[in-house]
């Protein structure tokens, strides 16, 4: 009989994390455990010897079938700080270009004694396919982390965003959070919305043009605004998103200049938010398209701190998956 993924493939019968595929379906206690564990890892980066032995002897394979700067690099740093052996598959030079299937690639890497796969893929669901395949092989000892699949999910980005918000704002209750821009194509927005709901944020506002907002059922529990000036008013956290033109079919906007005029975050627009609002962006940023340089480099921006926190979050996720 087919031994496919259980209803919640991320959690085993004892309630432990087995894969990190999405924030959807992740119990609130596990989300909080990841954030708390990441807090304990922050100080490792300040040590002279930036290493702990929690993944010593384990092999972590970074499989990035789509480009990345922040996620790939911080996963590598995180795994090395946990003392794992890290193998970065060079996809452009791999046998994928000769027609090898994703699952044949996985089978070969399993034969090389992989313990963990960190997967970014242009296709939504690719990390689930790998987790399902491992499950059918009876390899529950090998863990899969979704590092971004299509427009579906980017759970470690969602978690590091929550870590950042908690770091600056302490508590999610009472917070008004704006997510601005191309929400339709954004896996980050989907993961952030799920995480913010799990953590009890008071108000999640989705701000963007009608053509870049998802269908109604995707955005339950949120308030939608088509005007940035209206939506940003009194917000405590502003999360800006890039226009993901690589995922757009056809023109959804008149022009980048027009977009910036309506949805670009300038100092004048940011002044409408709460005076101590923080500005976040998952990166990569397009200056002059969704964000003005004066804001991106200004005192309210915590964008580079998000990157630093990403190392601690990824250490926490890998460490918990390895059973620590």
Site residues, ligand CP (CB under 6 A): 68-71, 148, 154, 157, 282-284
Asked, as a colleague might, if the bond just before 284 is cis with ω within 30 of 0, I would say yes
Q: What is the closest distance, in whole angstroms, from the C-beta atom of residue 71 to ligand CP in the complex?
A: 3
Q: How far is the CB of 192 from ligand CP (least distance, A)?
A: 11
Q: Which is nearer to ligand CP, 69 or 123 (CB)?
A: 69
Decide whether 209 or 283 has the Cβ nearer to ligand CP.
283
Q: How far is the CB of 156 from ligand CP (least distance, A)?
A: 9
Nearer to ligand CP, 70 or 80 (CB): 70
Count of positions (residues) in the chain: 324
* Smallest distance from ligand CP to CB 170, Å: 24
Return the number of the residue (54 or 243) whose C-beta is nearest ligand CP: 243
Q: Which helix (H) or strand (E) holds 260?
A: helix 256-263
Least CB distance to ligand CP at residue 222 (A): 21
In the chain the first and final C-alpha atoms are separated, in Å, by: 33
Question: Quick one: 148 or 208, whose CB is closer to ligand CP?
Answer: 148
Cβ neighbours of residue 249 closer than 8 Å, sequence gap 6 or more: none
CA–CA separation, 171 and 177 (whole Å): 12
Going by the DSSP 8-state scheme, the letter that residue 279 receives in this structure is E
| DSSP assignment of 40-90 | HHHGGGGSSS----TTTT-EEEEEESS--SHHHHHHHHHHHHTT-EEEEE-
């Amino acid at each position: 009989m087919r031994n496919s993924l259980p209803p919640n493939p991320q959690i085993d019968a004892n309630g432990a994390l087995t894969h990190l595929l999405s924030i959807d379906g992740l119990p609130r206690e596990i989300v909080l455990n990841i954030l708390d564990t990441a807090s304990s890892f922050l100080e490792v980066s300040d040590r002279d010897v930036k290493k702990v032995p929690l993944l010593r002897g384990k092999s972590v394979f970074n499989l990035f079938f789509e480009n990345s700067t922040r996620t790939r690099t911080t996963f590598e740093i995180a795994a090395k700080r946990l003392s794992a052996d890290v193998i970065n598959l060079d996809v452009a030079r791999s046998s994928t270009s000769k027609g090898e299937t994703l699952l044949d690639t996985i089978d070969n890497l399993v034969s090389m004694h992989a313990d963990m796969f960190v997967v970014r893929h242009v296709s939504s669901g690719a990390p689930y396919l790998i987790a399902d395949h491992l499950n059918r092989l009876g390899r529950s000892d090998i863990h899969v982390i979704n590092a971004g699949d299509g427009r579906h999910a980017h759970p470690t980005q969602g978690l590091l965003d929550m870590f950042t918000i908690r770091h600056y704002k302490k508590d999610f209750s009472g917070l008004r959070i704006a997510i601005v821009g191309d929400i339709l194509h954004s896996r980050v927005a989907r993961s952030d919305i799920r995480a913010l709901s799990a953590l009890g944020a008071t108000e999640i506002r989705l701000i963007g043009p009608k053509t870049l907002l998802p269908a109604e059922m995707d955005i339950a529990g949120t308030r939608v605004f088509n005007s940035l000036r209206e939506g940003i008013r009194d917000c405590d956290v502003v999360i800006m998103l890039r226009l993901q033109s690589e995922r757009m079919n056809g023109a959804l906007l008149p022009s980048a200049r027009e977009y910036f005029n309506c949805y670009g975050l300038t100092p004048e627009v940011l002044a409408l938010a709460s005076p101590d609002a923080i500005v976040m962006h998952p990166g990569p940023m397009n200056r002059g398209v969704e964000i003005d340089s004066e804001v991106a480099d200004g005192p309210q921006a915590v964008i580079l701190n998000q990157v630093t926190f990403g190392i601690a979050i990824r250490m926490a996720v890998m460490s918990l998956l390895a059973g620590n």
